[in-house]
Amino acid sequence: MPRWLSFLLFLVPILTLLALAHVYLYRRLVRDVTVRPWARRTAQVVFVLGFGGTVGFRGLEWMLPAEVGRMLGIGLLSWTGVVMYVLFFTLALDVPRRAFDWNARRATRGEQQARTPPSPERRALLSQGLALGAGLAGVSVSGYGAWRAFHPPDVRDLPIPLPRLPRALDGFTLVQLTDIHVGDLIERRFVDELVARTHALSPDLIAITGDLVDGSVERLGRFVAGLGALRARHGVYFVTGNHDYYSGADAWVAYLERLGITVLRNQSVRIGDAGASFDLAGVDDWSAERMGERGYDLDAALRGVRPDRASVLLAHQPSNFDEVARRGVGLQVSGHTHGGQMFPGNLVGDAIWGDRNAGLSRTGGSLLYVSRGCGFVGPPMRVAAPPEIARLVLTAS
């Protein structure tokens, strides 16, 4: 299937649902609440501009100064998140109310004595109260989510018993950064903060497991350049993610290598020295081949990995982990899922990925760690899936 057709099949249903959400919220929160013409017209303009701007803001950015475009992008994508949460709360209040009204009407059928219907004023007051409550709840959750998205990620410390790890490397610290999504909304200041927080963890090795960027080297290189300051005793390593392919993976690989970051493209290296070491492998993104690009090749990545040695695989997506475990790899470190990023996305992610949506899981004798990631994609919000920097402490099992 051509890439443009896949993108269209993905985009059209989302835009349709977004348009229906705008129409429903206008009818429920404005038309059913007020008869004032000026309020209705103002709301119509806001909803139309919000929907149109969300769909087309990337085209607007090119016509505006960089910082103005960035603030516009934050505002319009935040609008999408606000609409989503206001919709959830409105439905949560509306559905039970309508069910109660329906049951009440059904219970009165066949009665000989007519009851006095609720006054229009009472119904209007109830509608206004429900609309106000849903709006305040949706805005509050969205505001918290936006604060959490731009707030520095949590540090998650986790001991990982790695099979066959030499005793001399017990306590080896691997710090994982993933799904940073440097782009129009996440820029150099965010990157510099990540670097500072990573260095504070005194890592032995730093792994960046894909989805680093959403844009070209020409546009975003000056922001990503901050990663050139990353330092670890055993080096900094990178593997590609699907968004890196959307952004020109080969160009980004060359750029990162100029920054001194080692890119593992279906290959492995030895970490440590002759006395104590383990194998570190990395694969290209699982979905790269579907985009007509050089893709995931587990055979090539594990060609130099010995079964009698400890091994760690860097892979952007947790896909294919059953096969990785069958090959005897001790630990795979991944991202991609964002842990769902925004409720109810975390529940959807759990339904799709199970215990591989976020955190540590085991298959046979192999472990998989999936980070919720450092940044975000789409609405700049994090709700019930906070961002993280993972500090994995390898222990001799």
Kindly indicate whether the domain formed by 155-396 is annotated with CATH number 3.60.21.10: yes
Looking at the chain, which residues constitute the CATH 3.60.21.10 domain(s)?
Answer: 155-396
Q: What is the rounded (10 degree) CA torsion for 221, 177, 81, 59?
A: 20
| Distance separating alpha carbons of residues 174 and 56, to the nearest angstrom | 40
Per-residue pLDDT of the chain (397 residues; tens, 9 = 90+): 566 666 677 678 888 999 999 999 999 999 988 889 999 999 999 999 999 888 776 666 667 777 777 888 889 899 999 999 999 999 998 888 777 667 666 666 655 444 555 666 777 787 788 889 999 999 999 999 999 999 999 999 999 999 999 999 999 999 999 999 999 899 899 999 999 999 999 999 999 999 999 999 999 999 999 999 999 999 999 999 999 999 999 999 999 999 999 999 999 999 999 889 999 999 999 998 877 777 899 999 999 999 999 999 999 999 999 999 999 999 999 999 999 999 999 999 999 999 999 999 999 999 999 999 999 999 999 999 999 999 999 999 7
**Phi, psi values for residue 281, rounded to 5°:** -120, 160
pTM of the model: 0.90
Please tell me whether residue 176 adopts helix, strand or coil conformation. Answer: strand
| Distance separating alpha carbons of residues 202 and 214, to the nearest angstrom | 28
Q: How many CA atoms lie within 13 A of 112 on its CB side?
A: 0
Longest distance between any two alpha carbons in the chain, whole Å? 94
Please tell me whether residue 282 adopts helix, strand or coil conformation. Answer: strand
> Could you tell me which residues are beta bridge partners of residue 205?
174
Would you say 353 and 190 are in contact if contact means Cβ atoms under 8 Å apart?
Answer: no
Q: How many CA atoms lie within 13 A of 275 on its CB side?
A: 3
Name which of 342, 40, 377 is nearest 179 in CA terms.
377
Cis peptide upstream of residue 344 (ω within 30 degrees of 0)? yes
